[in-house]
Structure 1
Amino acid sequence: MAEFLEVKNDVQLSEQYELLIKQLKSLLSKDERLITNLANLTAALKQTFDKISWVGFYLYDGEVLYLGPFQGKIACTTIKIGKGVCGTAAEKRETIIVPDVNKFPGHIFCDPDSKSEIVIPMFKNNKLIGVLDVDSDAFNSFDETDKKYLEEIVRFLTEEIII
């Protein structure tokens, strides 16, 4: 696929995700370096959804989550497992949707403009690889539709792309 991304803002959220996923399946390749795939994935998400103020990966090195490819403002460089939304999602092994980050106990404020967040943990062969972190500068930006499709994107990434 050429480096072009078709974005339709005049359709339902589920249709936006379905179009994005179709394109990601052509854009991402197991023959490319991991960092290349993660960088293009973050760019594609940021380009597709206006509600996203920051999107990126925190990768697990066996001790902490460290900052990987992202789109948005500068970010925290490391997060301990069990800390903040990212570390909690990794520890609990489940997606966490936070409608208001001010109400999440222990939220790490890397970006003071962030208002809501969704974090999807990534596993390969039952081992933690990292998390996909998506932020918005508006409250209540993410819902079950986002969860469903972002989990599908992470599943594609971990099952088809990451070797």
Structure 2
Amino acid sequence: MAENLFIPDAATKAEKYQAVIPQIEALITGEPDLYANLANTSAALREAFGFFWVGFYLVKNEQLVLGPFQGPIACTRINFGKGVCGTAWKEAKTQLVPDVDAFPGHIACSSASRSEIVVPVFKGNKVAMVLDVDSDQLADFDETDQNYLEELMGILGKTL
């Protein structure tokens, strides 16, 4: 795969996901290094959608530990069930948060973050990591993001 993404001009959000997901899949297929795949996935998502922050937290020693990401510096460790990421890990389901200030126990890694979506990535039936995507706009994520990011994390999970 080339090191450039094709992102269609004037596309809807769904059309952008439909164009970008196969490109990310081609980029990570056959690459055995997890960190390379996570770095390229986060970079591709940020480039395609202009997200404020996009990255991964990996389950290590009963905590979520910061992995590859794109954006401002971030929290390094998150406990099980804490914040949006820890809740996605605990509940093993996507957390779609239109206003992070209204989320009980939200961990403010950046005061500029206003909305968030966190998608768990499974190895077998256990959460191995989470994809965390933040926006500096309220209610910036919806079911379209959830559906396509869950699809993409399913593809990524197969590489684990």
TM-score, structure 2 normalization? 0.97
Amino acid at match of 2:79: K
Distance 1:77 1:31 in 2: 26
- The size of the alignment, in residue pairs, is 160
Superposition RMSD in Å: 0.9
- 1:117 maps to 116
For residue 9 of structure 1, report the CA deviation from its aligned partner. 4.2
Give the superposition deviation at 1:29. 2.4
Partner Cα distance (1:31, 1:68) in 2? 17
Higher deviation after alignment, 120-129 or 63-72: 120-129
Give the whole-Å Cα distance in 2 for the aligned partners of 1:137 and 1:61: 28
Tell me what 2:134 maps to: 135
**Uncovered stretches (5+) of structure 2, i.e. residues with no partner:** none
User: Structure 1 segments of 4 or more deviating over 6 A?
Assistant: none
Distance in 2 of aligned mates of 1:70 and 1:60: 15
Q: Partner of 1:24: helix, strand, or coil?
A: helix
Give percent identity, aligned residues only: 52
Aligned counterparts of 1:96 and 1:72: Cα–Cα separation in 2: 20
Structure 1: segments with no counterpart, 5+ residues: none
Report the 3-state secondary structure (helix = DSSP H, G, I; strand = E; otherwise coil) of the residue aligned with 2:84.
helix
- 1:120-147 alpha-carbon deviations (Å, 9 max, x no partner): 0111111221100000000000000000
Aligned residue number for residue 38 of structure 1: 38
**In 2: Cα distance, 1:9 partner to 1:67 partner:** 33
